[in-house]
Amino acid sequence: MMHRRLGPATNVPMPTVKKTSGRDDAIARLASRGESALTRIGELPGGAKALKAFTDLRERVDELGKKVRGIDRLEARVAKLEKELAALKRAQKPKPATARKTTRKSPAAPS
């Protein structure tokens, strides 16, 4: 049976978490405290706006993360295309022409 206890600063019931061991217990406690803190922030004047701003910020950060991962793929494609272009340029480079020998016209003989 789970009992709820009242928070220290307010009379808001705080959820209790079933006792587990070590790491899981610490994470569960942090999650519980975070939830109760968010509840209290939401009850403050302007708190709902602040929570909405945080939610929007999180969504924007997620979108930016997706875009950054996309940039990595684009960079790889650009590098591949640059190599292909360099190979094409090497293949199309004209062979150096041999130097032309020109003969000078001898000056006209005086008549």
19-36: per-residue pLDDT in tens? Answer: 556 677 877 887 888 888
- Taking only the tens place, the pLDDT of each residue in 54-69 is 889 999 999 999 888 8
Q: Which domain holds residue 56?
A: 49-90
Distance CA(82)–CA(105), nearest Å, equals 50
For residues 25 and 62, state if they share a domain.
Answer: no
For residues 38 and 53, state if they share a domain.
Answer: no
Least confident of 3-17, 24-38, 68-82: 3-17
Q: Is residue 97 part of a domain?
A: no
What per-residue string of b and e applies to 11-31 under the rule 16 or more CB within 10 Å gives b? Answer: eeebeeeeeeeeeeeeebeee
In the chain, the number of structural domains is 2
Tell me 8's DSSP state: S
For residues 1 and 37, state if they share a domain.
Answer: yes
- How large is the average pLDDT for residues 65-91? 92
- How large is the average pLDDT for residues 30-44? 79
